[in-house]
C-alpha cells in the first residue's frame, strides 16, 4: 500500500498540467508549513528566525524542468537577486539551485551562461551555491557541470544520492576536487537498473558513502531526517575523531523542527533547506511521496489563504 501511495505522488509530481494549475491556483498553498513564502522578501523573517535559533539555511527558489529560455533566464536573475539580499540582510544562508530550472533541458550553453552569472555573484559575496541533484538521466550532465564550475569557483557545491549504484564511483572521482558535498538518499522515482529498490540497501549504501567521505577528508552535509543515519554519523565521527566542524546535518524546512534544534544544542551544525516561490508543486508532491503523514497538514494548508 505504501508503495502504491508513493508511486501515485511520484507520478503526480511530473504532471505538467497540474503543475501549471497549481501555480495559478494556490500560491499560498502550504506556505509557512514546508514552503517559506511565495517570494524571497516574505521568506526573510522566517530565515532570520531560524538563524536566531542557531540554524543555518540554504534557500531554494522553487522550479524545475523549465522548457523556455525566457523562464530559465528569469530564474537565474531571481537567484542573483536572492544572493544579493542574503548578503545585504546578513543572513546565514547558502543557496541551492536546480540545473533544469536554469536551462539544462533546453541548451547546454544556456545553463552554463546562467550558472556563470549566479556563481560570479555568489563568489563576490562569499555565498555557497549547491547544485541539487535531480533524476538519473540528468546525473552525468550535472556532475560534469559541477566539475567544470569547480575549476573556477570555490563557492560551488553539489549533491550525491545514495540510492544510485554509481555514486561510490562518483564520490571517488569528485573527491579530488575536495568539494563540499551534500549526501542524500535520493528523491526521484528511479528504475531498478540504476538505483537500489530496497530502502535497507539505500541506507547501507548511505552509511558507506558517509564513511568514505570522511576517509577522503571531505566536508560533508548529511541531509536526512532518519534517526538511524544521524546516530550512525555521530558515532562514526566520534570513532574516527572527525571534529564537528568537518560535517553538518541538513533537514528540510518544516520537517523535524525539534530534532533540528536538539542537534544544535548537542553542538552540531544544522542547516535547514528553505524553499520559496510559486512553483511549489513538484517539490511538494515528492515530499508527500516520501511521507504520506505530510498529507494531513498539506490539506489544512489548502484552506489557508
Ligand atoms: P526517509 O524518508 O528514508 O525516512 C526514514 C525515517 O526517518 C522514517 O521512517 C522516520 O522514522 C524518519 N522521518 C523521516 N521524515 C520524517 C519527518 N518529517 N518527521 C518525523 N520523522 C521522519 N534529494 C535529491 O534527490 N536531490 C537533492 O538535491 C536533495 N536535496 C535535499 C536536501 C536536504 C536538506 C534534504 C533533507 C533532503 C534532500 N533531498 C534531495 C531529499 C532526499 O533525497 C530524501 O528523499 C528525503 O530527505 C527523505 O529521506 P530521509 O533520509 O530524510 O529519510
Is residue 288 situated within a structural domain? no
Query: Is pLDDT above 90 for 64?
Result: no
Confidence of residue 223 (pLDDT cuts 50, 70, 90): very high
pTM: predicted TM-score of the whole model, two decimal places: 0.91
DSSP-derived secondary structure letter, 153: -
Q: Is 255 in the pocket of ligand 1 (CB under 6 A)?
A: yes
Give the pLDDT score at 69.
Answer: 96
Whether the CA torsion 48, 54, 56, 57 is positive or negative: it is negative
> Which residue, judged by its Cα, is nearest atom 51 of ligand 1?
224
CATH number for the domain including 84? 3.20.20.220
Query: Is pLDDT above 60 for 290?
Result: yes
Structural domain span for residue 140? 36-279
Give the pLDDT score at 109.
Answer: 97
Ligand 1 centroid from CA 117, angstroms: 30
Number of domains in the chain: 1
Confidence of residue 301 (pLDDT cuts 50, 70, 90): very low
Q: What is the pLDDT of residues 92-118, one digit of tens each?
A: 999 999 999 999 999 999 999 999 999
Q: Is 252 in the pocket of ligand 1 (CB under 6 A)?
A: yes
Q: What is the pLDDT of residues 121-141, one digit of tens each?
A: 999 999 999 999 999 999 999
Is residue 51 situated within a structural domain? yes
Q: Is 181 in the pocket of ligand 1 (CB under 6 A)?
A: no
Give the pLDDT score at 149.
Answer: 98
Give the pLDDT score at 9.
Answer: 66
Ligand 1 centroid from CA 124, angstroms: 32
Query: Is pLDDT above 80 for 23?
Result: no
Is residue 302 situated within a structural domain? no
Q: What is the pLDDT of residues 225-277, one digit of tens each?
A: 999 999 999 999 999 999 999 999 999 999 999 999 999 999 999 999 999 99
From 300, 196, 281, select the one nearest 11 (Cα to Cα): 281
Interface pTM (ipTM) of the complex?
0.97
Q: Which are the contacts of 171, defined by CB distance < 8 A and separation ≥ 6?
A: 160, 181, 209, 212, 213, 216
Q: Is 139 in the pocket of ligand 1 (CB under 6 A)?
A: no
Decide if 182 is catalytic: yes
Query: Is pLDDT above 90 for 300?
Result: no
Spot the catalytic one: 135, 138, 170, 182.
182
Ligand 1 centroid from CA 189, angstroms: 14
Q: What is the pLDDT of residues 171-196, one digit of tens each?
A: 999 999 999 999 999 999 999 999 99
Confidence of residue 303 (pLDDT cuts 50, 70, 90): very low
Give the pLDDT score at 154.
Answer: 97
Is residue 105 situated within a structural domain? yes
Give the pLDDT score at 302.
Answer: 42
Confidence of residue 21 (pLDDT cuts 50, 70, 90): low
Rounded to 10 deg, the angle between the 167-175 and 139-152 helix axes is 10
Average pLDDT over residues 203-223: 98
Is residue 297 situated within a structural domain? no
Cα angle 108-79-73, degrees, rounded to a multiple of 5: 45
Q: Which are the contacts of 98, defined by CB distance < 8 A and separation ≥ 6?
A: 60, 63, 64, 131, 132, 134
Average pLDDT over residues 150-161: 98
Is residue 21 situated within a structural domain? no
Ligand 1 centroid from CA 185, angstroms: 7
Q: Is 223 in the pocket of ligand 1 (CB under 6 A)?
A: yes
Is residue 9 situated within a structural domain? no
Is residue 148 situated within a structural domain? yes
User: Which stretches of 127-272 are DSSP H helices?
Assistant: 139-152, 167-175, 199-215, 227-240, 257-265
**Mean pLDDT of all residues belonging to the chain:** 90
Closest atom of ligand 1 to CA, residue 184: 43
CA atoms within 13 A on the CB side of 277: 22
| CA–CA gap between residue 67 and residue 65 (Å, rounded) | 6
Which grid coordinates are listed for 208?
A: 558507506
DSSP-derived secondary structure letter, 232: H
Decide if 132 is catalytic: yes
Query: Is pLDDT above 60 for 56?
Result: yes
3 state DSSP class of 290: helix
Confidence of residue 304 (pLDDT cuts 50, 70, 90): very low
Q: How many helices (H) and strands (E) does the chain have?
A: 12, 8
Amino acid at each position: 500500500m505504501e508503495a502504491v501511495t508513493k508511486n501515485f505522488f511520484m507520478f503526480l509530481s511530473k504532471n505538467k498540467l497540474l503543475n501549471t494549475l497549481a501555480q495559478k491556483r494556490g500560491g499560498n498553498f502550504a506556505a509557512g508549513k514546508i514552503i517559506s513564502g511565495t517570494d524571497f522578501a516574505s521568506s526573510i523573517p522566517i530565515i532570520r528566525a531560524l538563524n536566531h535559533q542557531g540554524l543555518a539555511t540554504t534557500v531554494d527558489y522553487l522550479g524545475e524542468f523549465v522548457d523556455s529560455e525566457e523562464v530559465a533566464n528569469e530564474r537565474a536573475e531571481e537567484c542573483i537577486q536572492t544572493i544579493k539580499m542574503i548578503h545585504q540582510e546578513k543572513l546565514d544562508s547558502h543557496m541551492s539551485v536546480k540545473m533544469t530550472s536554469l536551462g539544462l533541458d533546453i541548451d547546454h550553453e544556456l545553463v552554463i551562461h546562467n550558472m556563470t552569472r549566479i556563481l560570479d555573484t555568489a563568489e563576490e559575496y562569499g555565498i555557497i551555491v549547491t547544485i541539487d541533484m535531480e533524476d538519473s538521466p540528468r546525473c552525468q550532465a550535472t556532475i560534469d557541470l559541477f566539475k567544470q564550475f569547480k575549476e573556477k569557483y570555490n563557492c560551488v557545491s553539489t549533491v550525491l544520492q545514495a540510492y544510485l549504484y554509481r555514486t561510490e564511483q562518483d564520490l571517488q572521482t569528485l573527491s579530488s576536487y575536495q568539494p563540499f558535498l551534500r549526501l542524500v538518499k535520493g528523491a526521484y522515482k528511479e528504475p531498478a537498473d540504476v538505483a537500489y529498490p530496497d530502502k535497507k540497501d539505500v541506507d547501507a549504501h548511505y552509511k558507506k558513502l558517509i564513511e568514505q567521505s570522511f576517509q577522503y577528508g571531505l566536508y560533508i552535509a548529511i541531509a536526512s531526517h532518519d534517526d538511524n543515519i544521524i546516530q550512525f554519523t555521530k558515532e562514526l565521527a566520534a570513532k574516527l575523531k572527525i571534529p564537528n566542524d568537518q560535517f553538518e546535518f541538513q533537514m528540510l524546512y518544516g520537517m523535524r523542527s525539534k530534532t533540528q534544534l536538539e542537534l544544535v544544542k548537542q553542538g552540531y551544525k544544522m542547516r535547514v533547506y528553505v524553499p520559496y516561490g510559486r512553483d511549489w508543486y513538484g517539490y511538494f508532491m515528492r515530499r508527500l511521496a516520501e511521507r504520506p503523514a505530510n498529507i494531513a497538514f498539506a490539506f489544512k494548508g489548502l484552506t489557508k489563504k
